[in-house]
Chain A
Amino acid sequence: MPAAVLKKQFASFLPLDWQDRPAPELARTGLPEVDATTGGLPRGCLTEIFGPASSGRTSLLCAILREAAARAEECALVDAEDAFDPVRASQAGVRLDRLLWVRCDHNAEHALKAADLLLQGGGFGLVAMDLGDTPAARRISLASWFRLRRAVEHTPTVLLMLARQSNAKTCASLMLECARREAEWCGKPSGRLLRGIRVEIARRKPGRAGAMNVRFPLR
């Protein structure tokens, strides 16, 4: 039976707002280009950032961490690959005193458990799970993602997942795909310098796809 018919039949029995879910509150990412396209990261939802190496995933994550800390929110980073660089992140403006860092030593299962515990504990403005290039990320079942999505629902927490490829599928409320465009080099061959990287961040879900170019300075 088509959904429209069902809706028509049962609408009279159900409360008026049975299908009207309030739009989630959005949190800024700290990158004006991304905020202009997506409006920000939805609270109480799972946001997925994925892309290959050197596609700006980590820089985008750091920008989000920096912005969340600037809002005086407590953040947690579950780092499955132990890849976070606190020295340069601190130089980039990330408040380390507001960042709980869980190092999972290349164990995606530990990362999932830690993220679940942090979400159950509550109180964080942002919980980010960096699965990076961990091969085990692909083997995480959809049920695990669903559990995380349920855990973050109705909370003011932004749940962020970062990986090489999309894993959460339908459980993600917002999907941002990062792609590398070009590296910026400058100077003569004898004294060349890597100035920055240009990446393209594309919104894959929800609604209409949109893409934006972002430059991350490296010097």
Chain B
Amino acid sequence: MLNSTRNFVSSDMETAPLLEVRNLSTYYVSASGTRIVRAVDDVSFSLRAGETLGIVGESGSGKSTLALTLMRVLPPAAQIVSGAMRLEGEDLVGKSENEMQHIRGKRIAMILQDPMASLNPLFSIGDQVGETLRQHEGASRRSAWQQAIGLLKSVRIPAAETRVTQYPHEMSGGMRQRIVGAIGISCEPRVLIADEPTTSLDLTIQAQYLNLLDELRKEHGIGLIFITHNLGIVAKMCDQLVVMYAGRVVESGPVRQVFNAPAHPYTAALLSSIPRMSNRRKRLIAIDGQPPDMSNLPPGCAFASRCPAVFERCRNEAPPVFTPAPGHTARCWRSAPEMAGSVAMSVGALS
């Protein structure tokens, strides 16, 4: 499944990461200041040029807030409370709104979940695609229009010359999604974040769109971040994987490594819930229970109440980040060095 064509990743592993996130936290504070939701809590990861990073988690796990934090377009109630994010070595947290505006859409771009609602119904496709170019590259109206036609062609939209003059309602869902993709790559950003890019598309179009994004990544050496709850897509598309639960990164590492030897019971449970040809006779294991109340997290591990491999320490003490293997991290007491023997056994029993 993990194809080997993804060789754009430079073999020189020492190059500085394109995007580096260290201990990033974003909290929502209610108007009265009494309720705090730690939507993104102490998140770290890094992304290299040409690499694809998958961020997975249930809805409400903080993955979308993480994306908005990276773009610095948080709603007023949310704020970055600590941590750092560096794009090509440049800090983004300290940037003013004005400076961020020149980075957004130009060096780091994002594709939203809902292609139907992402385009403004009142402006032509050409206007909306060319808008970014006019803003960031200072393109004239005419040249932006011409470049928009080119962009539509590059995302395989037939009859691009007539399509630019049309309005969103005249397009199919798959076509709109590709247009949103074209807007995302219009200024050749270094990092492209795709938030649940395929949820509203049917399967054939999904596959086409994923291939398209992969090709764009290869062509332009983009660092691609995939936010999804679909591990099948992660297996197909990604090099690195970050698993989020209740605002925290519970496990991260190279996709193959994490898939073969999940260190966190949550990841293991997620993996066992992917329907696979080989094990379709087996019953899918559903994860019991509900995700915790984000404004009132338990003192220990947030997954403890649902964890099949829970033990006393999990309930009282939040696990720090352990490194079960080089490049592979997990926030689970079972990955603690002193627990070495028992982990594989209990997690293995799950899958």
Chain B associates with chain A:
no
